[in-house]
Amino acid sequence: MAPGEKTVLQFGGSTSLNVKVHPLVIFNICDCYVRRPDQAERVIGTLLGSLLPDGTVDVRNSYAVPHNEFSDQVALDIEYHHNMLTSHQKVNPKEVIVGWYSTGFGVTGGSALIHEFYSREVANPVHLTVDTTFRNGEATIKAFVSVSLSLGDQPLAAQFQEIPAELRMSEAERVGYELLKSTVADKIPSDLEGMESTLERLLALIDETYKYVDDVVESRVAPDNKIGRFLAEAVSSLPKLTPSAFDKLVNDSLQDQLLLVYLSSITRTQLSLAEKLNTAAQIL
């Protein structure tokens, strides 16, 4: 090093990514955690999805990978991992490896070894952690990427840096997620109860929209052209129906659902009766 020159400690690698996780992934991870072997402290698995043009990692699916941990060493079942990947891509060829997950509240000592393996499977993999202990009352998720640490031109090590992560779900998925994320649930809501919950949320959103529009009209809030265009597109996309036509549409749909419930109940009763008659015939 020449006199007067300074050695700079540098962080390299891209950290502009953000992660969108579908609720199916969280449910899969929690299910694998419940079914884990008795001696396993955590579950490790592969994340599948795609990288969107805006730099968002869209995580849509996952599967667990058997592993053994002892001290600071981790042994993954690589053959099982590749077999599962091949099976998934036969069904969804557009889903590729985007990273890996582990249960727990943050990064552990063996995470660097696992991340190194997935770095050979895909460039810049994402590490997702899910707190299955519900420490904060829900399954907290965090996402990390590996960032290289160098001293001048000499690479030293790599560290995990947290990146933004959030759940991406439709309104129907949100209703189920809000129920299942709670630690205690008395019962699964019926179709009508689920519809009622959705309508209540919709009314709350409409009231919030009304309040925003009124605030803009009264000059209490600065107008936003982007929000205005979005509201105009939403309103123009609604079909123009008279109240009577709308009531008929809702009632027809409700009657169809009730008919399906009735037919499924009859079928279930018939199958149960046939099973009991078959059992009685075998005894006689």
DSSP string, 190-245: -HHHHHHHHHHHHHHHHHHHHHHHHHHHTTSS---HHHHHHHHHHHHTS----HHH
Dist. CA 80–CA 94, nearest whole Å: 20
46 pLDDT band, cuts 50/70/90, is very high
Verify that 116 and 234 share a domain, yes or no: no
* CA–CA gap between residue 251 and residue 244 (Å, rounded): 11
Q: Which of 158, 165, 175 is nearest to 144 (CA)?
A: 165
Q: Tell me the whole-structure pTM to 2 decimals.
A: 0.59
Residues 27 and 124 in one domain: yes
In a domain, residue 211? The reply is: yes
The arithmetic mean of pLDDT across residues 142-168, rounded, is 76
What distance separates the 2 farthest-apart alpha carbons in the chain?
102
Confidence grade of residue 3 (pLDDT, cut at 50, 70, 90): very low
- The number of distinct structural domains making up the chain is 2
Quick check: is 36 in a domain?
yes
150 and 203 together in one domain? no
How many percent of the chain have pLDDT more than 90? 11
| pLDDT at position 8 over 60 | no
204 in the same domain as 98: no
In this structure, the answer to whether residues 57 and 106 fall within a common structural domain is yes
pLDDT tens profile 191-215: 677 778 778 888 998 899 999 999 9
> Is there a domain that residue 3 lies in?
no
pLDDT digits (tens, 9 = 90+) for 15-44: 577 889 988 888 888 888 888 887 778 889
d(CA 181, CA 90): 31
Give residue 47's pLDDT band: very low, low, confident or very high (50, 70, 90). Answer: very high
Q: What is d(CA 239, CA 250) in angstroms, rounded to the nearest whole number?
A: 14
Q: Are 114 and 74 in contact (CB under 8 A)?
A: yes
Is 278 part of a structural domain of the chain?
no
| 64 is a domain residue | yes
Encode pLDDT of 124-137 as tens digits: 889 898 887 766 66
Residue 83 C-alpha from the chain's centroid: 23
Clarify whether residues 92 and 137 are in a common domain.
yes
Lowest mean per-residue pLDDT among 223-232, 238-247, 268-277: 238-247
Domain boundaries, position 152: 19-171
Q: Look up residue 115 and give its amino acid.
A: H
Collapsing DSSP to helix, strand or coil, 94 comes out as coil
Helix (H) and strand (E) counts for the chain?
Answer: 7, 11
The answer to whether residue 281 sits within a structural domain is no
Q: Which amino acid is at 104?
A: G
Give the pLDDT confidence score for residue 6 in this predicted structure.
44
| Closest of 88, 85, 101, 84 to residue 25, by C-alpha | 101
Mean pLDDT of the chain: 80
Q: Is there a single domain that holds both residue 146 and residue 226?
A: no
* Same domain (yes/no): 157, 47: yes
